[in-house]
């Protein structure tokens, strides 16, 4: 029998986040709107890191249900420390690889990928969050016309993502020197602030799911 080992940090996540922490996301597959107890659109971030981006969006936009996914518990705990009682935000300690276990077809309206790991070695390209393996999963859980929004400082990852997305998605609002603007539903991430301070250019794109 497999006994679930709740390590100290996961216990801290549970205690601090309370109901915002979803221990078994797969049990909510197809019923996320019930979990949030409303009919608002669901926006998810994969690899939320320390959570500045998703917590500030959730604190601004109370009419959207946000879900933050991060695979490293010590990092997710930093997101937990930024949670606010009022926002409509749930957090998952999980892997983007397992999205089809967490979400049913057409359940999600938007996916954010911010400063995802670039995985420079060729043999690791499949691990990139914009490899075909991941895009195929996004296409299933995203509604028709749902959006994938990506920001990165990494030229190679951006070029790679343009090529993989170009096969089946409609690309728009591509920026090779993105600056945050109040007109766009966006907020800077921890990595973004660090790169911006160093004068590093930020790339951004939006890709529309075509079903």
Ligand X SMILES: C[S@@+](CC[C@H](N)C(=O)[O-])C[C@H]1O[C@@H](n2cnc3c(N)ncnc32)[C@H](O)[C@@H]1O
Which CB sits closer to ligand X, 28 or 116?
116
Could you say whether residue 178 binds ligand X (CB under 6 A)? no
Which CB sits closer to ligand X, 114 or 164?
114
The single residue of 24, 84, 95, 117 carrying the catalytic annotation is: 117
Shortest separation between residue 46's beta carbon and ligand X, angstroms: 5
Residue 10, both tokens: 């996961």
Contacts to ligand X from residues 179-198, by CB under 6 A: 189-192
Catalytic annotation on 117? Answer: yes
In whole angstroms, give the CA distance from residue 131 to residue 187. Answer: 25
Shortest separation between residue 173's beta carbon and ligand X, angstroms: 19
Which CB sits closer to ligand X, 126 or 211?
126
Contacts to ligand X from residues 45-84, by CB under 6 A: 46-49, 69-72, 75
Which CB sits closer to ligand X, 21 or 115?
115
In whole angstroms, give the CA distance from residue 96 to residue 45. Answer: 9
- Scanning 10-18, 79-87, 95-103, 196-204 for contacts with ligand X by CB under 6 A, the matching segment is 95-103
Contacts to ligand X from residues 96-125, by CB under 6 A: 96-97, 114-117
Q: DSSP for the chain, please give it.
A: -PPP---HHHHHHHHHHGGGB-S-GGGGTT-HHHHHTS---EEEEES-TT-HHHHHHHHH-TTSEEEEEES-HHHHHHHHTT--TTS-EEEEE--GGGHHHH--TT-EEEEEEES-----SGGGGGGSTTSHHHHHHHHHHEEEEEEEEEEES-HHHHHHHHHHHTTTSEEEEEESS----TTSS----HHHHHHHHTT---EEEEEE---
- Scanning 5-13, 57-65, 82-90, 94-102 for contacts with ligand X by CB under 6 A, the matching segment is 94-102
How big is the site for ligand X, counted in residues (CB under 6 A)?
20
Residue 33, both tokens: 């709107």
Active site residues: 117
Residues engaged in binding ligand X (CB under 6 A): 46-49, 69-72, 75, 95-97, 114-117, 189-192
């Amino acid at each position: 029998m497999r006994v679930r080992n709740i390590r100290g940090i996961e216990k801290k996540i549970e205690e601090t986040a309370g109901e915002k922490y979803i221990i078994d996301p797969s049990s909510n597959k197809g019923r996320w709107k019930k979990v949030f107890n409303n009919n608002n659109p669901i926006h998810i971030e994969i690899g939320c890191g320390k959570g500045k981006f998703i917590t500030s969006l959730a604190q601004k936009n109370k009419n959207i249900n946000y879900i933050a996914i991060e695979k490293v518990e010590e990092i997710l705990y930093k997101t937990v420390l930024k949670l606010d009682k009022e926002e409509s935000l749930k957090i998952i300690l999980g892997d983007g690889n397992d999205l089809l276990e967490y979400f049913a077809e057409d359940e999600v309206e938007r996916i954010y990928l911010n400063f995802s790991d670039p995985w420079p070695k060729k043999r690791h390209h499949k691990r990139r969050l914009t490899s075909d393996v991941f895009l195929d999963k996004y296409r299933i859980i995203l509604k028709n016309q749902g959006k994938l929004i990506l920001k990165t400082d990494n030229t190679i990852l951006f070029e790679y993502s343009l090529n993989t997305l170009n096969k089946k998605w409609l690309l728009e609002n591509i920026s090779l020197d993105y600056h945050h603007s109040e007109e766009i539903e966006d907020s800077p991430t921890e990595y973004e602030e660090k790169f911006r301070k160093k004068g590093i250019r930020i790339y951004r794109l939006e890709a529309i799911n075509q079903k």
